[in-house]
A and B are shown apart, each in its own frame.
Chain A
Amino acid sequence: MVVFNTSPLDDTDLVNWNMLGFRTICGRLQPRLWQLSPLRAVHTASDPTVSPALLTRARLLAAEHTKLSDRLGESFDSKIAKRAGELAPIADVLKEWVTANESISELKSLLEDPDTDAELRSLAIEDLESSHGTLPAISDRLKKSLIPRHPFANMPCLLEIRPGAGGDEAGLFASEMLRMYMALCSRRGLRPTILKQDTEVGASDDRLTEAVLEVEADGAYDILRTESGVHRVQRVPATETKGRTHTSAVSVMVLPSFSETASEMDNALNFEDPSSDYYIDPQEVRVEKMRAGGAGGQHVNKTESAIRLTHIPTNTVVSMQDERSQQANRRKAWQILRAKIAEARQEAREQELVQLRRGILGGVAKMGRGDKIRTYNFGQSRCTDHRTGVTIHNLDSVMDGGDGLDTVMESVRVWMDNSEVEAMIAEDMAKQTDVK
């Protein structure tokens, strides 16, 4: 009898099989990197068993879904409908999982029954094998459906690009990255607009000093959050005379973008509501407009209207001078300030969670914004993501914001989901040992 999850040997095989599948989806893994993470093999998302704690969690949520659906049958309420909509996938996949397990145990009892004739037996064995084949995928989906949704997942986002170490070369690459993300967002219909672009206008190329891209589509935050971190470029810069390869860095930050009218937001995300996590007290923000001495009013005609906002408690500074309109500069500065503070608060909360988990798991892989996440190597025409180990050997398809970049981002998404599931399992295990 072949039952995958009973023998420890088969279990590991399955894990490796999955890793290979992962490889074929994501491109080539750098062998060194994926050997470095033995942790992943301990609790991968594709373990076909679902821990009892996760199962309990799924059952509770499915029960809640049934209750809400019943209530919706009586009278419609948009809030309840929204919550029910969020829970529906969990309930569905749980049902699928239960059905699959039931059919497996039925088939098993059929096989154990000595009265079963030979023909039926061979059919049952076939069915059992196919059920065992689909079960891991269903379990995987069940676990992933349980990952708590990121609070900003449904929101549009801002993508901030800043050159780091590397001088002119970093500035040049930063403007290439801006083009890359513009192309990606346009291709996927995410409606990108440049909110802020500070450049040094060069003879041939523009060197970026800072740019903020606004991506208006709902859910853009969730799509682009794989991009936060330090991106490294290795190439021979145009300015290099001796043919040496330089390494420079560009940092990317993905921030949630709050709609201008606060009332359109959910209560928890309403930045004008003092009880919201993302509330900013206007008293704590210093507003400064650029001011110059000398004559004013009708005597002069200044065209600039730079504005600077400082959030005093966190010393977060946003300045804006791109627009001719004072009001537009003010609005954009506020939008960026709100986004930065919300992201920082969310990050602090995640950090707390990571601290908790670290005690349990000895460090769940969580990349902060300071970590190097990806390398673009022009000499070898490759792009490697350091979180997943995926390498794309067609750098153009990445830099054009094409399929290459999609593939890298998708691999990071899978990696993020897996880490979340690992963390959930670890937490539940810890809870169980506490109970014992």
Chain B
Amino acid sequence: MPRIPYSVILRAHRENSLLPLLLKECRTIDSARNELRWLREAVQEKQSLPTNWSRLRSMCRLRSKGVPLQYLLGNQPFGDLEILCHQGVLIPRPETESYTYKSAQLVQKIKRKPETKLRILDLCTGTGCISLLLHALLAPHFQDLSITGVDISPVALGLAQKNLQHNIKLDQLVLQAATDIQFHRADVLGNGSDTLVSIRSLLQTLGRPSQPSEHLQYDLLISNPPYISRAEFRNGTTARSVRLFEPELALVPPSVSEDGRPEDIFYHRILSLALELKTPITVLECGDMAQAQRVVTLHERLAGNNDFSAEIWPRHERDLAEYGFHETDGSRCVIIQRL
């Protein structure tokens, strides 16, 4: 990472003695100014005057050590929702927000009959942000909606449940969401054990009681699984703040001896599951262009025939600019549609 010029630090200091602390994570004065304002607003909301400044300063110090702003403030906006955040659960990213909006558009385009039941499966749900935003976006258009969020982490599932209640209280989700959205614990990779069910057995128990062997039909399978390789976690590609303070469980897939790269392991499992479930739309977040390309190739190998379209999104200049994606760098998602 390039060093911040001394002149910039000096200028920041002259403006406000707390700004240089924030500059360490923010890198630009504009962004540091914004964070200072947000922290100040958060402190003013809760506290009486005399302790304000020392509280603000201690928050800025924590921030300079790399503690994510969202853990300090306790939340992150996601669409119009307010997602609560705390240590141990991955913070929702703006790219994921874009993929969620895109997925909601796709669902509306493909499923024209609003009276039929719409089922969505969200794997590795974390804070539950994708499930909750999809409900907020689709509930006005579909009367019968069911969204299942799955995660391996009990901490994440607890937070997801809290987020569901929190956004109903904020009036960002309709009351119906409390029954439409369900969070379950399951292992997407493993085969299950006494204490942890595998994703397949979970789906079976969720299936029709009359025919236990048969799965439910899902209209959309969406996932933001861990996708960072061990090397990229250590070599500086992953930001210090993320590496030190966000859960490794949500970022780096476990090394399982199998063919292909270990960081792609979740895509193997989720793609074969999608084929089995015959989901019409599958949306997978990927770390970069190269990984997205590998996922497309992998899907072609697994699916075999030409019954699918698989595209990397966003790709066109207008989408890239509108959603804030760099032309070549940064995250992408893969959208697979059954033709």
Interface residues of A (CB under 8 A from B): 199-203, 286-305, 307, 321-328
Contact = CB atoms under 8 A, between A and B. Distances in A.
B93 A301 contact: yes
A289 B287 contact: no
B35 A289 contact: no
27 contacts: A201-B19, A203-B16, A287-B322, A289-B323, A290-B324, A291-B326, A292-B326, A292-B330, A293-B328, A296-B325, A297-B93, A297-B287, A297-B331, A298-B228, A299-B237, A299-B238, A299-B287, A301-B91, A301-B93, A301-B246, A302-B94, A303-B38, A305-B324, A307-B324, A324-B77, A325-B77, A327-B79
Most chain A CB inside 10 Å of its own CB: which residue of B228, B237, B324? B324
Contacts of B37: 322
B242 A298 contact: yes
Contact of A301 (B14, B68, B232, B237): B68
Interface stretch (B25-33, B43-51, B52-60): B25-33
B84 interface: no
B94 A326 contact: yes
A300 B239 contact: yes
B77 A328 contact: yes
Contacts of B227: 297-298
Contact of B288 (A295, A325, A327): A295
Interface of B: 14-16, 19, 26, 30-31, 33-38, 68-70, 76-77, 79-80, 90-91, 93-97, 224, 226-228, 232, 237-239, 241-242, 246, 250-251, 285-288, 320-326, 328-331
A201 B93 contact: no
Contact of B242 (A200, A287, A300): A300
A286 B93 CA distance: 23
Nearest to B226: A298
Contacts of B286: 297
Contact of B90 (A294, A298, A305, A327): A298
Q: DSSP class of A's interface residues: helix, strand, loop or mixed?
A: loop
A249 to B, nearest CB: 24
Contacts of A296: 93, 95, 288, 325-326, 329-331
B15 A298 contact: no
A327 B34 contact: no
B112 to A, nearest CB: 23
Q: Which 10 A-B pairs rank lowest in CB-CB distance, beginning with the nearest?
A: A289-B324, A296-B330, A297-B331, A325-B77, A296-B331, A287-B322, A201-B16, A293-B329, A300-B239, A291-B324
B34 A321 contact: yes
Most chain B CB inside 10 Å of its own CB: which residue of A202, A291, A299? A299
Contacts of B91: 301
Nearest to B233: A299
A178 B226 CA distance: 47
B45 to A, nearest CB: 14
Given A297-B287, A299-B238, A305 B329 contact: no
A286 B330 contact: no
A301 B90 CA distance: 10
Contacts of B328: 293
A59 B285 CA distance: 70
A324 B94 contact: no
A202 B15 contact: yes
Contact of B80 (A294, A321, A327): A327
Given A201-B36, A202-B15, A324-B76, A295 B329 contact: yes
A289 B322 contact: yes
Contact of B330 (A200, A295, A323): A295
A403 B136 CA distance: 47
Given A296-B330, A298-B287, A326-B97, A303 B35 contact: yes
Contacts of A202: 15-16
Nearest to A286: B321
Nearest to A292: B326
Nearest to A207: B15
Nearest to B1: A294
A302 B93 CA distance: 8
Given A298-B287, A301-B68, A307-B324, 7 more contacts: A202-B15, A288-B322, A291-B320, A299-B237, A303-B26, A303-B69, A325-B80
B77 A326 contact: yes
A332 to B, nearest CB: 13
Nearest to A288: B321
Contacts of B330: 291-297
Given A293-B326, A299-B232, A327-B77, A203 B14 contact: yes
A289 B94 CA distance: 11
A249 B58 CA distance: 39
A191 B290 CA distance: 51
A307 B320 CA distance: 13
Contacts of A300: 238-239, 242
Nearest to B29: A200
Contacts of B285: 297
Contacts of A289: 321-324
A200 B12 CA distance: 10
Contact of B241 (A288, A292, A301, A326): A301
Nearest to B73: A324
Given A201-B16, A203-B14, A301 B329 contact: no
A392 B195 CA distance: 80
A290 B286 CA distance: 20
B40 to A, nearest CB: 10
Contacts of A199: 33
Most chain B CB inside 10 Å of its own CB: which residue of A289, A300, A301? A301
Contacts of A328: 77
Contacts of B14: 203
A289 B288 CA distance: 19
Contacts of B36: 201
Contacts of B331: 296-298
Contacts of A304: 26, 30-31, 34
B228 A299 contact: yes
Contacts of B226: 298
A305 B94 contact: yes
Contact of A303 (B34, B250, B288): B34
Given A297-B285, A298-B93, A299-B238, A287 B34 contact: no
Contact of B239 (A203, A299, A305, A326): A299
A327 B136 CA distance: 14
Contact of B95 (A290, A297, A324): A297
A201 B34 CA distance: 11
B251 A298 contact: yes
A65 to B, nearest CB: 43
A290 B326 CA distance: 9
B139 to A, nearest CB: 17
B34 A295 contact: no
Contacts of B70: 301, 303
A285 to B, nearest CB: 10
Contacts of B325: 291, 296
Nearest to B75: A324
